[in-house]
Amino acid sequence: MTPDEILAQHGPREAMEYDVAIVGAGPAGLATAIRLKQLAAERSHEISVVVLEKGSEPGAHILSGAIMDPRAINELIPDWKEKGAPLNQAVTGDKFLFLTETGATATPHALLPDCFRNEGNYIISLGNVVRWLATQAEALGVEIFPGFPAAEVLYGEDGSVRGVATGTLGIGKSGEPTRAVYFLNAGVASVTAALFDGRLVEVATIGIEGMVGIEALFGDDSIAPGDSMIQVPEPDAEAEMMTAAAFRQAIASCGTFSAIVGRYAQGLMAQMIQSTACNALHSVHQRCARWLLTTHDRVQQRDFRLSHEFLAVMLGVQRPTVSVVASALQQQGLIRYRYGVVSVRSRRGLEEASCECYRLMRSRFSQLMQ
């Protein structure tokens, strides 16, 4: 698809610019990323490199048990032993057998071609080697986005490859009619406000507790007040979709559904009001802790995927600020943040680091939904 075709199908998207985008955090993709960074460093050049991986983390989609010839890694990272590469078991013996119905016939070693010999090779878990390569790439400044399958190649007008598009994450566009509501089964969506200069700030998050497109409640001509997009994606997760008309009909015909939606709408409004105060008055450190707690509640699991870029959008700050705040939270032992995956280590610590807004939003919501 060309960029115009993608725009026509999905509407405007968020774009991220990198000098090099690599699809797939397998051995080849990560080695390429590492080598590019090494070459750039040798020439004192800055080069931005991103690796998109469809698996939940590097190595997740890699078949593991393998015999590895260390020649390539000797060239790429000569001090791999000191750096802790998981090549721990050298091959100690080699047999080439022809299996028969009743036994096996061994082939004399001297008759085997070189490619069948394993002296000097290692027995490895390729998944672990890939995870280790990912840490080496990140240490060189490569950005790795797991959970982001490249879905389309983007071409320039001259037919050259300009980049890739990942799966569509946008589900509602500010100012456009709301034609459907979505009930997420996993992940977290964000409602954001866009400024004329292109900056986005998050005003609310929505997870399995709610729905995207609540404004459909207000009638046939309801208009989305902000952009809604999936910010914390879950692989293979789906959402239930209802047309706006069917949604209003269900509200009109079912008192219980109508009451629940009404209470949820109040909860969402309370969240937006509190977010406004929080965004204006609280430090980015506090807001980041609040955001991580809220997301943790929504995804109901310790780990969730999140890029620095998206977190910056959600907090309305620059990406370097996110790196500083995330590493401070990491040093305090409250989270672990690797390969774009956040692991919450201490909820209590995050609650202490957060402002009162998290507790207020949470208690208001449980009060309404009781």
Ligand X SMILES: Cc1cc2nc3c(=O)[nH]c(=O)nc-3n(C[C@H](O)[C@H](O)[C@H](O)COP(=O)(O)OP(=O)(O)OC[C@H]3O[C@@H](n4cnc5c(N)ncnc54)[C@H](O)[C@@H]3O)c2cc1C
For residue 73, state whether it binds ligand X (rule: CB under 6 A). Answer: no
Q: What angle do CA 358, 300, 241 make, to 5 degrees?
A: 100
Interface with ligand X (CB under 6 A), residue from 21, 27, 173, 190: 27
User: What sign for the dihedral angle of Cα 223, 226, 227, 229?
Assistant: negative
Distance CA 325, CA 309 (A): 13
For residue 149, state whether it binds ligand X (rule: CB under 6 A). Answer: yes
Q: Cβ closer to ligand X: 29 or 187?
A: 29
The first and second tokens of residue 291, run together, are 């955001």
Judged by CB under 6 A, which stretch of 25-33, 40-48, 216-224, 253-261 contacts ligand X?
Answer: 25-33
Distance CA 366, CA 370 (A): 6
| Site pattern 100..139 for ligand X (x: CB under 6 A) | --------------------------x-------------
Task: Identify whether the C-beta of residue 245 lies closer than 8 Å to the C-beta of residue 271.
Answer: no
Q: Cβ closer to ligand X: 59 or 226?
A: 59
Side chain identity, residue 236: D
For residue 146, state whether it binds ligand X (rule: CB under 6 A). Answer: no
Task: Identify whether the C-beta of residue 100 lies closer than 8 Å to the C-beta of residue 48.
Answer: no
Interface with ligand X (CB under 6 A), residue from 21, 36, 40, 52: 52
Binding residue count for ligand X, defined by CB under 6 A: 20
The DSSP secondary structure of 233-298, one letter per residue, reads --TT--EEEEEHHHHHHHHHH-HHHHHHHHHHHHHHHHHHHHHHHHHHHS-HHHHHHHHHHHHHHH
3-state secondary structure of 68: strand
Q: Cβ closer to ligand X: 60 or 273?
A: 60
Beta carbon of residue 149, minimum distance to ligand X (angstroms, whole number): 4
Beta carbon of residue 63, minimum distance to ligand X (angstroms, whole number): 5
CB-based contacts of 339, cutoff 8 Å, min separation 6 = 57, 58, 134, 138, 144, 146
For residue 265, state whether it binds ligand X (rule: CB under 6 A). Answer: no
For residue 67, state whether it binds ligand X (rule: CB under 6 A). Answer: yes
Q: Cβ closer to ligand X: 28 or 369?
A: 28
Interface with ligand X (CB under 6 A), residue from 37, 54, 173, 296: 54
For residue 28, state whether it binds ligand X (rule: CB under 6 A). Answer: yes
Q: Cβ closer to ligand X: 26 or 172?
A: 26
For residue 319, state whether it binds ligand X (rule: CB under 6 A). Answer: no
Tell me the C-alpha to C-alpha distance, in Å, between residue 359 and each of 288, 289, 293: 14, 12, 10
Distance CA 265, CA 248 (A): 14
Beta carbon of residue 166, minimum distance to ligand X (angstroms, whole number): 8
Binding site for ligand X (CB under 6 A): 23-29, 52-55, 61-63, 66-68, 126, 149-150
